[in-house]
């Protein structure tokens, strides 16, 4: 019988082999000097190195074959669990007992293997076609396991956790600022963008001008927009009584918040218009025929049916804002970008990771949650149309 490999599995297997042969951990004398890259078998105790190597090859073999989706998911989950445990073990194994300045960091092989088996897990979940609720259960389980890993102390020997330990209080302060910027600007954009989108859908003559203006704002680079806003907001802070007291200044969170709000308007407004335009004419006529007023049709028929498309715009905005909020640190806005730019300035890679990893995790979690909500609402909307 001819062996027919899985097409995606071929790429996953090649990446897994390349990752297994790449450096697994880097040992440095201190946080900023160049270090020595070590392979999987050198960075771990002998038993752990060979166990991880066989696990990686076994999971790659499962990915290569046309195995059931459940088997692929279990292989990916086992490989990811082994990677998480072993990279923490390398921190303990490689760190000199009498040197508090030594730093152990995951190297390119670890990150490549983490990406590879995360891809395998994502692909297997897609093939299993779980319900939105089950996808949220998978996400909650993954978040819970990451939390247990962090509080268990397995990673305490890694440099990124040492950077966190030295900045624990500041980290959570910057995390709250990052969330305030991302979520606050999204909420403000929803308050302004949803009514504006409804108005553009109702008044076609207004639509082109509004959408073109918002498109123009999107073309302005984020750094440039932050800089443009410094002057006007600084003038407001000086000349408008009480503005400075409520936090409006030329630098800080205010220009970052306004910039993120402006960037958020286009997806919210455009998706609101698209969602409302997608409501079937027969549904509108039926609502009008039973005596509904214009407001009743909007809130009880049109917006519920348009909600999946509107939520898609909100998903785009939230993921976008979580990433863009990182740049706010350049103008004193705070957030996880504070650690990213401090790390770049000090050539401290693990300090960069302290800001980058939570940003990526927040964006991923937000995308999965909103994708599930969109699918749930799409199902409800389809049922309403059928009724």
pLDDT tens sequence across 137-170: 999 999 999 899 888 888 988 888 888 988 888 9
Q: How many structural domains is the chain composed of?
A: 2
Q: Which residues contact 257 (CB under 8 A, 6 or more apart)?
A: 181, 184, 185, 188, 333
Find the CATH number of the domain harbouring 187. 1.10.3720.10
3-state secondary structure of 25: strand
Q: Are residues 379 and 335 in the same domain?
A: yes
Q: Which has more pLDDT, 271 or 333?
A: 271
Domain boundary among 115, 133, 158: 158
Instruction: Give a yes or no: residue 370 inside a domain.
Output: yes
pLDDT band at 334 (very low <50, low <70, confident <90, very high): confident
Asked whether residue 163 is domain-assigned, the answer is no
pLDDT recorded at residue 244: 66
CA 220, CA 61: separation in Å to the nearest integer?
47
Q: Please check whether residues 153 and 258 belong to one and the same domain.
A: no
Q: Considering the domain boundaries, does residue 350 fall inside one?
A: yes
238 and 279 belong to one structural domain: yes
- Count of C-beta atoms within a 10 Å radius of residue 288: 14
Residues 290, 234 within the same domain? yes
Q: Residue 27: which domain range?
A: 7-158
Task: Give residue 385's pLDDT.
Answer: 59
pLDDT of residue 269: 93
**What is the pLDDT averaged over residues 233-254?**
69
Q: What is the pLDDT of residue 111?
A: 94
Same domain? 124 vs 187: no
pLDDT band of residue 280 (cuts 50, 70, 90) is: confident
Rounded CA gap, 304 and 302, in Å?
A: 6
Residue-wise pLDDT for 224-242, tens only, equals 887 777 777 777 766 777 6
277 shares a domain with 313: yes
What is the strand order of the sheet 36-38 is part of? Answer: 36-38, 25-28, 103-106
Q: So what's the pLDDT on residue 286?
A: 83
Residue 87 lies in a domain: yes
164-182: average pLDDT: 90
pLDDT band at 246 (very low <50, low <70, confident <90, very high): low
Residues found in the chain: 387
| Residues 12-48 pLDDT 10s | 999 999 999 999 999 887 767 777 888 999 999 999 9
Q: How confident is the model at residue 5 (pLDDT cuts 50, 70, 90)?
A: confident
When comparing pLDDT for 54 and 252, which is higher?
A: 54
- Average pLDDT, whole number, for the chain? 86
Asked if residue 366 and residue 226 are part of one domain, the reply reads yes
In a domain, 1, yes or no: no
Same-domain check for residues 269 and 176: yes
Mean pLDDT highest for which of 185-189, 238-242, 291-295?
A: 185-189
The pTM of this model reads: 0.86
pLDDT in tens, 339-353: 998 888 887 888 899
> Is the pLDDT confidence value at 68 over 80?
yes
**Higher per-residue pLDDT: 299 or 101:** 299
pLDDT at 313 over 80: yes
Single residue among 124, 158, 192 that ends a domain in this structure: 158
Same-domain check for residues 186 and 303: yes
Q: Binning pLDDT at 50, 70 and 90, where does residue 383 land? A: low
Residue 378 lies in a domain: yes
Does one domain contain both 154 and 177?
A: no
Give the pLDDT of residue 272. Answer: 92
Residue 195 belongs to a domain? yes
Is residue 2, in this structure, part of any structural domain at all? no
Task: Give first-to-last CA distance, the chain, whole Å.
Answer: 51
Looking at the fold, whether 141 and 115 belong to one and the same domain comes out as yes
Mean pLDDT of the region 98-123: 88
Query: What DSSP letter does each residue of 145-206 carry, written as one string?
Result: HHHHHHHHTTTTTSHHHHHHHHTHHHHHHHHHHHHHHHHHHHHHHHHHHHHHHHHHHH-HHH
- Tell which of 99, 125, 158 closes a domain: 158
For residue 1, pLDDT over 60 is answered with no
Residue 387 pLDDT more than 60? no
């Amino acid at each position: 019988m001819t062996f027919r490999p899985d097409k995606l599995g071929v790429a996953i297997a090649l990446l897994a082999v390349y990752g297994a042969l790449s450096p697994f951990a880097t040992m440095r004398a201190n946080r900023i000097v160049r270090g020595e890259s070590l392979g999987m078998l050198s960075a771990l105790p002998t038993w752990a190195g060979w166990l991880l190597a066989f696990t990686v090859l076994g999971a790659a073999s499962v990915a290569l074959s046309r195995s059931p989706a459940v088997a692929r998911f279990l292989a990916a989950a086992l490989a990811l669990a082994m990677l998480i445990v072993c990279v923490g073990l390398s921190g303990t194994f490689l760190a000199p007992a009498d040197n508090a300045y030594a730093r152990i960091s995951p190297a390119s092989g670890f990150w490549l293997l983490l990406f590879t088996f995360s891809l395998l897990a994502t692909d297997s979940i897609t093939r299993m076609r779980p319900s939105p609720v089950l996808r949220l259960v998978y996400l909650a389980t993954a978040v819970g396991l990451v939390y247990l890993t962090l509080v268990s102390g397995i990673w305490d020997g890694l440099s990124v956790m040492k950077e966190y330990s030295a900045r624990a209080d500041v980290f959570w302060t910057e995390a709250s600022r990052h969330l305030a910027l991302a979520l606050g600007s999204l909420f403000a954009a929803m308050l302004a963008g949803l009514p504006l989108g409804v108005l553009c859908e109702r008044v076609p003559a207004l639509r082109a001008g509004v959408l073109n203006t918002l498109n123009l704002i999107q073309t302005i680079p984020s750094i440039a927009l932050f800089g443009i806003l410094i002057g006007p907001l600084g003038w407001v802070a000086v000349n408008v009584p009480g503005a400075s007291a409520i936090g409006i200044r030329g630098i800080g969170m205010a220009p970052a918040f306004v910039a993120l709000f402006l960037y958020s308007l286009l997806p919210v407004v455009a998706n609101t218009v698209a969602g409302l335009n997608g409501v079937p004419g027969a549904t509108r006529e039926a609502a009008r025929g039973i005596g509904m007023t214009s407001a009743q049709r909007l809130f009880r028929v049109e917006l519920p049916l348009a909600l999946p498309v509107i939520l898609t715009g909100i998903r785009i905005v939230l993921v976008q804002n979580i990433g863009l909020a990182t740049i706010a640190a350049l103008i004193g806005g705070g957030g996880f970008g504070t650690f990213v730019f401090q790390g770049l300035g000090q050539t401290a890679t693990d300090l960069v990771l302290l800001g980058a990893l939570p940003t990526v995790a927040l964006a991923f979690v937000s995308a999965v949650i909103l994708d599930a909500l969109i699918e749930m609402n799409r199902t409800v909307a389809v049922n309403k149309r059928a009724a």
